């Protein structure tokens, strides 16, 4: 099935200052691939049978890259809502833990939250088997990390491969008792945020580009700035992985 994603502004390649932006643009998706990118009216006229997802006054960009995946998924603990200790990651809550089940459940919840910020690629290295499995099953692209840091802003931004199993938008399942180690100490910016746009400009935060023939990984954000030219930090409206709508803000 063909799906047409329309937005007030489409930025196919924010990392390239010469790349054009598309007011009232659209991305046509077939399966897990981008079929075409262009003005909405042209694509709609050429494909009248395509299902339409109209995101209104929003900006559509490539999905984001979180360069802090090693710290966020292998050391930070992402609480289960049933624990009633909040939803923010607890710094070093998994450090020293040998419970692979608890680590895997925490990683799944962390990955779900990343989707809510438009993240479609995450940097490792991922040394725990449970975390590697969680990343692989999430559909997010796994990237190598920076030396000794678990991924820095220099981590790769080229297009990735991988599956797109449905990741959903719920809080993830499982989880163990309260976090160990740092306990109530929440993540600071030194450990890396879930939202790349809170610390990186858009050009440095995106992963790859939205182009015909490429994998359909992109995100839709509330728009800010003159002419609604920039995505707003703080979370996305929708995230698409391999052509699947895996997150939608309620």
Residue 113 has a pLDDT of: 96
Residue 236 has a pLDDT of: 97
Per the prediction, the chain carries an average pLDDT of: 84
CB 146 within 8 A of CB 123: yes
Whole-angstrom distance, CA of residue 110 vs CA of residue 89: 8
CB 77 within 8 A of CB 106: yes
Which of 102, 70, 73 shows the shortest CA–CA distance to 179?
A: 102
Instruction: Calculate what percentage of the chain has a pLDDT beyond 70.
Output: 81
Residue 96 has a pLDDT of: 87
What's this model's pTM, rounded to 2 decimal places?
A: 0.81
Whole-angstrom distance, CA of residue 163 vs CA of residue 165: 6
Tens of pLDDT, residue by residue over 43-77, are: 999 999 999 999 999 999 999 999 999 999 999 99
In the chain, what are the domains? 2-63+207-248 (2.30.40.10), 65-198 (no CATH)
97 band by pLDDT with thresholds 50, 70 and 90: confident
CB 107 within 8 A of CB 101: no
pLDDT over 60 at 128, yes or no: yes
Task: Name the residue with higher pLDDT: 174 or 213.
Answer: 213
Within 8 A by CB and 6+ apart from 48, the residues are: none
191 band by pLDDT with thresholds 50, 70 and 90: low
Tens of pLDDT, residue by residue over 134-153, are: 999 999 999 987 543 333 43
């Amino acid at each position: 099935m063909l799906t047409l994603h329309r937005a007030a502004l489409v930025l196919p390649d924010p990392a390239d200052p010469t790349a054009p932006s598309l007011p009232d643009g659209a991305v046509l998706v077939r399966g897990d691939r981008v079929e075409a990118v262009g003005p909405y009216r042209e694509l709609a006229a050429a494909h009248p049978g395509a299902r339409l997802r109209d995101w209104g006054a929003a900006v559509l960009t490539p999905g984001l890259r979180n360069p802090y995946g090693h710290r966020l998924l292998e050391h930070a603990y992402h609480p289960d809502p049933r624990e009633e200790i909040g939803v923010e990651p607890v710094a070093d809550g998994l450090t020293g833990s040998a419970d692979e089940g608890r680590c895997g459940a925490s990683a799944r919840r962390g990955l779900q939250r990343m989707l809510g910020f438009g993240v479609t690629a995450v940097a490792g290295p991922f040394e725990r088997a449970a975390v590697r499995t969680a990343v692989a099953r999430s559909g997010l692209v796994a990237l190598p990390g920076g030396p000794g840091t678990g991924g820095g802003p220099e981590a790769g931004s080229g297009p990735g491969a991988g599956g797109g199993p449905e990741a959903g938008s719920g809080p993830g399942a499982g989880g163990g008792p309260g976090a160990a180690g740092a306990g109530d100490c929440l993540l600071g910016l030194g450990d890396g945020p879930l939202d790349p746009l809170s610390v990186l400009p858009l050009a440095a935060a995106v992963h790859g580009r939205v182009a015909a023939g490429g994998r359909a990984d992109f995100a839709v954000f509330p728009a800010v700035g003159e002419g609604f030219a920039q995505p707003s930090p703080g979370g996305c409206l929708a995230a698409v992985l391999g052509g699947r709508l895996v997150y939608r803000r309620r």
